[in-house]
Amino acid sequence: MSNSHPAFKLVTSAEIDSLGVRVEEYRHDTTGAQHLHIAADNPENVFLVALRTVPEDSTGVAHILEHTALCGSDKYPVRDPFFMMIRRSLNTFMNAFTSSDWTAYPFASQNRKDFDNLLDVYLDAVFFARLDPLDFAQEGHRLEFAEADNANSELVYKGVVFNEMKGAMSSVSSQLWHTLSKYLFPTTTYHYNSGGEPTDIPKLSYEQLVAFYRSHYHPSNAIFMTFGDIPAAEHQAAFEEKALHKFDQLDKTIAVGREDRYQAPLKVEEHYPLSGEELNGKTHIVLSWLLGDVTDLEEALTAHLLAGVLLDSSASPLMKLLETTDLGTSPSPLIGLDDSQRELVFVCGIEGSERTCADELERQVLTVLEEVAEAGIPYDQVEASLHQLELQQREIGGDGYPYGLQLILTALTGATHRGDPIGLLNIDATLEKLREQIKDPRFIADKARELLLENQHRVRLVLSPDDKLATRREQAEKDQLAQIRSRLSEKEAEQIIETAKALTDRQIREDDASLLPKVGVEDIPAELPDVEGEETTLGEQKLTLYCAGTNGLVYQQMVSALPDLTEEEKQLLPYYCQVLSEVGLGDKDYLEVQQWQTSVAGALHGFTSSRTAIDNLDHLSGHFILSGKALSRNQSELTELMQATMEQVRFDESPRIKELLLQTLARREQGVVGNGHALAMAAASAGYNRAAWESHASGGLLGLRELKTLVRGLDQEQGLQNLSAQFQSIHQKILAAPRQFLLVGEEEKISDFSRALAPLTSTPSTTAAAPDAPFERKHVEELWVANSQVNFCAKAYATVPMSHPDAAPLSVLSGFLRNGFLHRTIREQGGAYGGGAGHDSNIGVFRFYSYRDPRMGETLEDFDASLKWLAEEKHKEEQVEEAILGVVGGLDKPGSPAGEAKKNFHSALYGRSHTVRQKFRKQVTEVTLEDLQRVGATYLDPRKASTAVVTGTHGREAAAKLNLQEETL
- What is the C-alpha to C-alpha distance for residues 73 and 815, in angstroms, rounded to an integer? 25
- What is the C-alpha to C-alpha distance for residues 759 and 742, in angstroms, rounded to an integer? 14
Q: Which is more confidently placed, 425 or 920?
A: 920
Give the Å distances, CA to CA, from 394 to 301, 442, 784: 15, 28, 43
**What CATH topology corresponds to 266-466?**
Cytochrome Bc1 Complex; Chain A, domain 1 (3.30.830)
pLDDT over 70 percentage in the chain: 99
- Widest Cα–Cα separation across the chain: 86
The arithmetic mean of pLDDT across residues 79-104, rounded, is 93
pLDDT in tens, 379-401: 999 999 999 998 888 888 877 78
pLDDT at 837 over 50: yes
Give the Å distances, CA to CA, from 244 to 24, 32, 35, 77: 19, 10, 12, 20
Rounded to 10°, the helix 807-817/857-872 angle is 120
Beta strands in 685-778 (DSSP E): 739-745
Least confident of 737-746, 759-768, 918-927: 759-768
CA angle 903, 904, 906 (to 5 degrees): 65
Pairing of strands 781-785, 946-951: parallel
C-alpha 467: how far from its chain's center? 29
pLDDT at 769 over 80: no
**What per-residue confidence (pLDDT) applies to 224?**
98
pLDDT in tens, 602-612: 999 999 999 99
DSSP, residue by residue, 794-847:
EEEEE---TTSTTHHHHHHHHHHHIIIIIIIIIIIIT--SEEEEEEETTTTEEE
- What is the C-alpha to C-alpha distance for residues 949 and 966, in angstroms, rounded to an integer? 10
pLDDT at 16 over 70: yes
**What CATH topology corresponds to 13-256+488-515?**
Cytochrome Bc1 Complex; Chain A, domain 1 (3.30.830)
- What is the C-alpha to C-alpha distance for residues 869 and 821, in angstroms, rounded to an integer? 8
Query: Which of 7, 52, 2, 22 lies closest to 419 in space, CA to CA?
Result: 52
pLDDT at 802 over 80: yes
Residue 381, SS3 per DSSP: helix
- What is the C-alpha to C-alpha distance for residues 741 and 335, in angstroms, rounded to an integer? 35
pLDDT at 2 over 60: no
Least confident of 24-28, 39-43, 509-513, 948-952: 509-513
C-alpha 479: how far from its chain's center? 36
In the chain the first and final C-alpha atoms are separated, in Å, by 65
- What is the C-alpha to C-alpha distance for residues 159 and 749, in angstroms, rounded to an integer? 56
**What per-residue confidence (pLDDT) applies to 662?**
93
Q: Which of 24, 44, 66, 669 is catalytic?
A: 66
φ, ψ (nearest 5 deg) of residue 97: -125, 145
CA angle 778, 779, 784 (to 5 degrees): 110
pLDDT in tens, 184-224: 999 999 999 999 999 999 999 999 999 999 999 999 999 99
The arithmetic mean of pLDDT across residues 439-446, rounded, is 96
Rounded to 10°, the helix 428-437/379-394 angle is 180
Residue 455, SS3 per DSSP: coil
Query: Which of 804, 734, 393 lies closest to 562 in space, CA to CA?
Result: 734
* Sign of the alpha-carbon dihedral angle for 131, 136, 138, 140: positive
**What per-residue confidence (pLDDT) applies to 218?**
97
- Side-chain-side CA neighbours of 800 within 13 Å: the count stands at 16
φ, ψ (nearest 5 deg) of residue 765: -115, -5
pLDDT in tens, 311-370: 999 999 999 999 999 999 999 999 999 999 999 999 999 999 999 999 999 999 999 999
Query: Which of 498, 507, 477 lies closest to 826 in space, CA to CA?
Result: 507
CA angle 224, 227, 228 (to 5 degrees): 145
pLDDT at 726 over 80: yes
Pairing of strands 603-613, 834-840: unpaired
Superfamily of domain 534-562+584-650+737-764: Metalloenzyme, LuxS/M16 peptidase-like (3.30.830.10)
Question: For 104-149, what is the HEC assignment?
Answer: EEEEEECCHHHHHHHHHHHHHHHHCECCCHHHHHHHCCEEEECCCC
The arithmetic mean of pLDDT across residues 284-290, rounded, is 98
Q: Which residues of 218-227 are buried (b: 16+ CB within 10 A; e: fewer)?
A: bbbbbbbbbb
Give the Å distances, CA to CA, from 844 to 776, 914, 917, 947: 15, 20, 16, 16
Provide long-range contacts, Cβ within 8 A and 24+ apart, for 363-370: 364/321, 364/325, 364/327, 365/287, 365/318, 365/321, 366/453, 368/317, 368/318, 368/321, 369/318, 369/448, 369/452, 369/453, 370/453
Q: Which is more confidently placed, 187 or 4?
A: 187
Query: Which of 392, 390, 379, 382 lies closest to 432 in space, CA to CA?
Result: 390
| Annotation says 66 is catalytic | yes
Question: For 341-353, what is the HEC assignment?
Answer: CCEEEEEEEEEEE
The mean pLDDT value of the chain amounts to: 94
Residue 946, SS3 per DSSP: strand
**What per-residue confidence (pLDDT) applies to 80?**
86
**What per-residue confidence (pLDDT) applies to 75?**
96
Indicate the residue type of 892: D
- What is the C-alpha to C-alpha distance for residues 628 and 634, in angstroms, rounded to an integer? 11
- What is the C-alpha to C-alpha distance for residues 862 and 864, in angstroms, rounded to an integer? 5
**What CATH topology corresponds to 781-967?**
Cytochrome Bc1 Complex; Chain A, domain 1 (3.30.830)
**What per-residue confidence (pLDDT) applies to 1?**
41
Element (H, E) at 548: none
Rg (CA), the chain: 28
**What per-residue confidence (pLDDT) applies to 752?**
86
pLDDT in tens, 647-676: 999 999 999 999 999 999 999 998 998 899
Least confident of 445-449, 530-534, 799-803, 901-905: 530-534
Domain with CATH 3.30.830.10 in the chain: 13-256+488-515, 266-466, 534-562+584-650+737-764, 781-967
